[in-house]
Amino acid sequence: MQNTTDRSTIESILASLDISDYAYTLPTDRIAKFPLEKRDESNLLVYNKGEIHKDRFSSIWKYTNSKTLLVFNNSKVIQARIKFFKESGAKIEVFCLEPVEPADTQLAFQEKKNVTWRCMVGNQKKWKNVPLSKKVVFKTDEIVLTATRRETTSAGTIVQFSWNNPELTFSEVLEIAGEMPIPPYLKREPESIDRTRYQTIYSLNKGSVAAPTAGLHFSNEVIQRLRKKGVDSAELTLHVGIGTFRPILSDSLVHHEMHTEHFSITIKSLKKICGNVPRMIAVGTTTVRTLESLYLLGINVYLNNNIPVDELQVNQWDGLLNETDISPVEALKCLEDYMMARGINTLHCTTRLMIVPGYRIRLTEALITNFHMPRSSLILLVAGYIGDDWRRVYQYALDNDFRFLSYGDSSILFPK
């Protein structure tokens, strides 16, 4: 049933991918620093099997039909940036990346005493072993949030947070003391508009430290127009990590380590997705990665139905290593049966899946996505989706005044 590719073949594929081939010149004035007044007024680049033209996102409904299933990532961005000031006036910025204790995101947000997170720390040299404190006001009460540095590793700094009000959850503390983690390339401080506009209108489950930006263009009017046409939808959750947007520094992918991201899906959504393969449009690269990760999990379950739930995970090159004749529907049905047999209503897993040219996309017919950083894993995913035509798409966008990156314009890509 399964044709497992030899690792030497994988290394050969990766060695043939020169990251410099996935670079392009992005003028700084093409980076959108602020969102448009209306979400759906953004430009839409339409790539349809080699043909390219320009439209408005408000017309996205024209590229769907009544059999289309739109799949959304409903992760919600948290107020992950916390600024502390030492008595000397030095600013220490702590950026929460992922929970460590408890490791489950939802449990970490519900803690009412202390939590431990892996963080990035700005101006870390100024932070000795003395805890940092920040005073904020909640209603009429003064809240003191304390950050204690535990250890620093190559993956980040382990920080324990505690606060003096046992009635508040850590989620509520972040809402009070934190700031929206807008991307550093915007080169500005977060403003009040970012609280709503760096968030999709359908965001639900807290946990992302960067927005799933393809969904930022959807307005209530657009969703109503899609529903009127008969377009159905399903939701899943992948909490976006900061690593998603980092450029690949090495020229060879052999030395690039993909970050881990947490995702979840309900049995209801899985059934809907299973029944609509491949008539699906993925809203965002995070959604594509999650859907393909579900397929790979289904293969694992197909091959070993007794695999423990806590061992269900997707590694970086599983999509290249596990070439198989198991169909997407068959794999997803195996995963569905696995959940049903164990009474699992919501499956929680992790993925490090990296999609690059040579990976075969199986579950979707189109992708809605923004325009990404040069030399990023997201550019590689787009190239894996539409091949070398990614260059034509990006050149067209540059030549036709499209806005780039998180607050920029959108595209819908139908591969050949």
CATH number of 2-76+199-414: 3.40.1780.10
CB atoms within 10 A of CB 152: 14
CA distance 402 to 190: 23
What does pLDDT average to over the chain? 93
Tell me the mean pLDDT in the region 204-221: 97
CA terminus-to-terminus distance, the chain: 28
Question: What is the structure's pLDDT at 3?
Answer: 45
pLDDT tens, residue by residue, 354-392: 999 989 999 999 999 999 999 999 999 999 999 999 999
| Mean pLDDT confidence for 195-218 | 97
Instruction: Say yes or no to pLDDT of 322 above 70.
Output: no
> What pLDDT, on the 0 to 100 scale, is given for residue 255?
76
- State which H helix or E strand residue 394 sits in: helix 390-399
Burial label for 3, CB within 10 Å (0-12, 13-18, 19+), is: exposed
The type of residue at 322 is N
Domain boundaries, the chain: 2-76+199-414, 80-178
- Could you count the other beta carbons within 10 Å of the beta carbon of residue 312? 18
Per-residue pLDDT tens over the stretch 31-71? 999 999 999 999 999 999 999 999 999 999 999 999 999 99
